[in-house]
Structure 1
């Protein structure tokens, strides 16, 4: 049996860790997989090394060493970085990684993009992904682009105060969002990386339903056991609300901007690409909120 050499770049992040662990489980069932974890902190992953994982140093900001980090890799998962600061750094990081992959002879790149990146929809989240997708097209390397919807983790912020005071304040208007579990994105990335697909494709990785604010409030009310009222705000008021709750101004502005973008209904998309890719059903918002119910209601729940 020919061994397939897979690598996860950005392996130390939350998504990367989930992907590596999923591939370790798959390797136990389906041998014939060589797995490399590429990270800026290889010394933190002795447990992976003990399981036969090749842990290599790699830093998107140090392009001179990336080709060596990718040496011998056939299929590479390129996890988009979190350098979302409007400086162009994230796109430059992705450019370095794609150029190094081409130099190293990587056959296929799986890239974690963002749902519905389109020309004319300028935002910190949209622009770098759109430009990175173009770099992949230009590279000549076979690729799978996973356009992930917002993580369900975002709901911990959106519904945090609603769990306490019964008010879902939002600037998303009548827009919808198909939030997806981070674990589901990891399953999709692992499946795409381990597949034998050789061409170019774009897959939309979404949750099972696109929900507006009223639907989110109804689900939250059921999980929390209390009435949740939707309070519509403009983006500036929403940012001020975040700041008043203790959030840094830069993050508050970004999250309020996301909600303002949701108000355009740009994220009203539900796809079955996840199921076709993984053979699983995407986890619903109800399950996520139930799993985090105690965390969300922590101020009002008695000690366990």
Structure 2
């Protein structure tokens, strides 16, 4: 069995991937979890996963952590300002350590230009994709769509009482379940023939926020309205509600990207890599909101 290193292993995606690898028969001792803070890896240690301390900013720590690894799953970092340089550190360190194959959690998009509403988030992903392709390493790039799990963030905590107020228009998103994406990544780590491939990791259906409102209404028996204001009205409303400006800017950018169709997909590799149909919107909303009837 190949030796696998998962970066960001104490995070939600990393931990889920480790769990799926073990569930699929990989010995925990054959998995290495790269973490910055060992105190956050106690559950991984308890499973028997080997833990190595490494920081995307510390090149030498990465080279040391990747010794003996055949495959590295690079889970994208959260430091947007420094992420591109950090990811290049990981790629170069993997190469120096003799890693054969690097897999990366990138993101779905259409517009790669500076005028994209997602440029603030996407540029580092695009640069990482390019660095991987130029590295000489075998690579697999997962173009992950927005998680189903971000829907509550977009619709707000009071959605069942006040409906959805979000400036996404009639834009569609092929929201995908995070655990489905992690399981598919585990399957690719264990499979063959995935070298130098780029996979579209989206649901097999596209959903509007009106669809979300309608599904919530059916689920709860409540009248759930969807209102798509202008970005200006939305920003003003959230500002008056005391939402920090950086969050408002992020929500507006995501909404505009959704409106422009950035996350709508006509094809997806997720079902094939998962081996079954992905979790759909109705199932996710039922799991998340059924107890709130």
The answer to whether TM tops 0.5 is yes
* Aligned-partner Cα distance in 2 for 1:11–1:227: 41
Residue 180 of structure 2 is matched in structure 1 by 184
Shift of 1:236: 2.8
Is residue 205 from structure 1 mapped to residue 184 from structure 2 by the alignment?
A: no
Shift of 1:294: 5.5
* Aligned-partner Cα distance in 2 for 1:185–1:101: 23
Residue 159 of structure 2 is matched in structure 1 by 162
Moved more, 143-152 or 204-213: 204-213
Return the match for 1:280 from 258, 261, 276: 276
Moved more, 217-226 or 232-241: 232-241
Contact 1:207 1:270 in 2 (8 A): no
* Aligned-partner Cα distance in 1 for 2:28–2:75: 23
Return the match for 2:219 from 217, 223, 235: 223
Is residue 51 from structure 1 mapped to residue 44 from structure 2 by the alignment?
A: no
Contact 2:146 2:263 in 1 (8 A): no
Contact 2:28 2:47 in 1 (8 A): no
Q: Using a 3 Å threshold, how does the CA distance of structure 1 residues 103 and 92 change in structure 2: closer, same or farther?
A: same
Is residue 39 from structure 1 mapped to residue 4 from structure 2 by the alignment?
A: no
Residue 190 of structure 2 is matched in structure 1 by 194
Shift of 1:223: 1.7
Contiguous gaps of at least 5 residues in structure 1: none
Q: Using a 3 Å threshold, how does the CA distance of structure 1 residues 162 and 48 change in structure 2: closer, same or farther?
A: closer
Q: Using a 3 Å threshold, how does the CA distance of structure 1 residues 228 and 174 change in structure 2: closer, same or farther?
A: same
* Aligned-partner Cα distance in 2 for 1:252–1:206: 26
- 1:261-286, CA deviations, whole angstroms, 9 ceiling, x for partnerless residues? 11111221153411211212210111
Is residue 79 from structure 1 mapped to residue 75 from structure 2 by the alignment?
A: yes
Contiguous gaps of at least 5 residues in structure 2: none
For normalisation by structure 1, the TM-score amounts to 0.88
* Aligned-partner Cα distance in 2 for 1:266–1:50: 41
Moved more, 45-54 or 199-208: 45-54
* Aligned-partner Cα distance in 2 for 1:50–1:262: 41
Shift of 1:156: 0.6
Shift of 1:110: 1.0
- Aligned Cα root-mean-square deviation (Å): 2.0
Is residue 5 from structure 1 mapped to residue 17 from structure 2 by the alignment?
A: no
Aligned residues: 289
Residue 114 of structure 1 is matched in structure 2 by 107
- 1:133-169, CA deviations, whole angstroms, 9 ceiling, x for partnerless residues? 000011011111111110112211223333111x321
- 1:193-235, CA deviations, whole angstroms, 9 ceiling, x for partnerless residues? 2222352011111123111222222112112211222212122
Q: Using a 3 Å threshold, how does the CA distance of structure 1 residues 42 and 197 change in structure 2: closer, same or farther?
A: farther
Is residue 250 from structure 1 mapped to residue 246 from structure 2 by the alignment?
A: yes
Is residue 90 from structure 1 mapped to residue 83 from structure 2 by the alignment?
A: yes
